[in-house]
């Protein structure tokens, strides 16, 4: 008999989560929340793949709180995500990039986890069938969200409680992940014990573990910035960008890659090394990306893979949001690359 693992042996996300629960990494409630998120992602994956057939491309007609056109799929994905989380019965408050304010989940049975998410990031790519993704982060319930006020509590004060409960620094995250809808559907997850990658097997309809304990290369010569904004950047950032184009000793400058979809650009950076940046500029004083739904979860993941997430000066995970849709500049990726841009910005 050989010691070789049976070639029929696969580790599904469900089995993996149950093993994490048995090992005491997560509790039963968290297992259920994560399972419901993976279901939402599978549903969104199928909606994204069939979008041109089922007439889900194009805009909804509404503009979200942040003044952006909502795509039809933004709206649908937000509903899918919210419904899966609500019906898990284990979330107390959910906050979405697509909603004005966080919502208290009335049907919560136990657990009361706080979940922040961007249901469909990079949706401007959808109509051309380019990569998109969902991003999420999970916080433990705090006093604010547990205080189940009396029946006379006004809607305003419930809302205020929810806002206070989600405005936590990323360093409090218990779990974070993303699902990328691309040539493969990839689910990346950290529970604070390394980064695990699962790939959706379309035959089984299950996420299967394909990479464990992923480590980002210490350095990497790929940069992903929207350089169209160059003229709006400050001089320090311009000279950083110029430096990447110097051939240097190796005779080869950095390579530019920019999908315009954070999840796709981040996933490539995680595997190949390099840097993704969304700086502040003359028009967008805090850049474009949101701290709660985008920057903090991605920074938790990158740190778990041995990389770095910074706003140019400080660690993203140390920033406590004062507003739920707060934006911050983001520089994320290989340690050496992020430190390099920090040096230039000093």
Which of Mg ion, ligand AHM, none does 64 bind, CB closer than 5 to 8 A by kind?
none
Near Mg ion by CB under 5 A: residue from 118, 265, 281, 311? 118
Rounded to the nearest whole angstrom, what is the least distance from the CB of residue 242 to ligand AHM in the complex? 20
Contact 216, 273 (CB under 8 A): yes
Pairing state of beta strands 222-224 and 255-256? Answer: parallel
By CB under 5 A, residue 121 contacts Mg ion? yes
Question: 115 with 136: CB under 8 angstroms?
Answer: yes
Q: How far is the CB of 136 from Mg ion (least distance, A)?
A: 12
CB 18 to ligand AHM: min, Å: 32
**Under 8 Å between Cβ of 207 and 191:** no
Return the number of other C-beta atoms located less than 10 Å from residue 132's C-beta. Answer: 29
- Contact residues toward ligand AHM (CB under 6 A) are 68, 97, 118, 121-123, 226, 260-262, 265, 288
- Transcribe 233-254 into DSSP letters: S-HHHHHHHHHHTS-TTTT--P
Q: Which is nearer to Mg ion, 118 or 311 (CB)?
A: 118
CA atoms within 13 A on the CB side of 208: 11
Which partner in Mg ion, ligand AHM, none is near 226 (CB below 5 to 8 A by kind)?
ligand AHM
Return the range that interacts with Mg ion (CB under 5 A); candidates 57-65, 114-122, 173-181, 308-316.
114-122
The number of C-alpha atoms within 13 Å of 283 and in the hemisphere containing its C-beta is 7
Alpha-carbon gap, residue 169 to 45, rounded angstroms: 29
- 3-class DSSP state of 30: helix
Whichever of 227 and 242 has its CB closer to ligand AHM, that residue is 227
Which one of ligand AHM, Mg ion, none interacts with residue 37, CB within 5 to 8 A by kind?
Answer: none
| Contact call for residue 206 and Mg ion (CB under 5 A) | no
The count of residues interacting with Mg ion (CB under 5 A) is: 2
**What is the smallest separation between the CB atom of 52 and Mg ion, expressed in angstroms?**
22
Q: Name the minimum Å distance from CB 250 to ligand AHM.
A: 28
Rg of the chain on CA atoms, in Å: 20
Positions in the binding site for Mg ion (CB under 5 A):
118, 121
């Amino acid at each position: 008999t050989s010691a070789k693992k049976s070639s029929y042996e696969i580790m599904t996300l469900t089995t993996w989560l149950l093993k994490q629960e048995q090992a005491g990494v997560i509790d039963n409630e968290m297992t259920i929340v994560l399972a419901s998120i993976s279901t939402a992602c599978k549903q969104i994956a199928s909606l994204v793949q069939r979008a041109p057939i089922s007439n889900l491309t194009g805009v909804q007609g509404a503009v979200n709180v942040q003044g952006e056109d909502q795509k039809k799929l933004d709206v649908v994905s937000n509903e899918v995500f919210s419904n899966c989380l609500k019906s898990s019965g284990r979330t107390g408050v959910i906050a979405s990039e697509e909603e004005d304010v966080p919502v208290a989940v009335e049907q919560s049975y136990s657990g009361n986890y706080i979940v922040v998410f961007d249901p469909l990031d990079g949706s401007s790519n959808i109509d051309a069938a380019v990569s998109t993704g969902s991003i999420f982060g999970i916080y433990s319930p705090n006093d604010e969200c547990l205080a189940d006020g009396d029946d006379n509590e006004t809607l305003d004060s419930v809302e205020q409680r929810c806002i206070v409960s989600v405005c936590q620094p990323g360093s409090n995250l218990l779990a974070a992940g993303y699902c990328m809808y691309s040539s493969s559907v990839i689910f990346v997850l950290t529970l604070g014990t390394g980064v695990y990658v699962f790939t959706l097997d379309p035959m089984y309809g299950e996420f299967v573990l394909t990479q464990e304990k992923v480590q980002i290369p210490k350095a990497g010569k790929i940069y992903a910035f929207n350089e169209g904004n160059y003229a709006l950047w400050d001089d320090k950032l311009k000279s950083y960008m110029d430096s990447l184009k110097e051939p240097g000793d190796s005779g080869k400058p950095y390579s530019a890659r920019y999908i315009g979809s954070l999840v796709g650009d981040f996933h490539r950076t995680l595997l190949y090394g390099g840097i993704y940046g969304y700086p502040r500029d003359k028009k967008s004083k805090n850049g474009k990306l949101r701290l709660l739904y985008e920057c903090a979860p991605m920074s938790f993941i990158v740190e778990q893979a041995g990389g770095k997430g910074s706003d140019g000066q400080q660690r993203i995970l140390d920033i406590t949001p004062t507003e739920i849709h707060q934006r911050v500049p983001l520089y994320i990726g290989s340690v050496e690359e992020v430190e390099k841009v920090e040096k230039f910005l000093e």
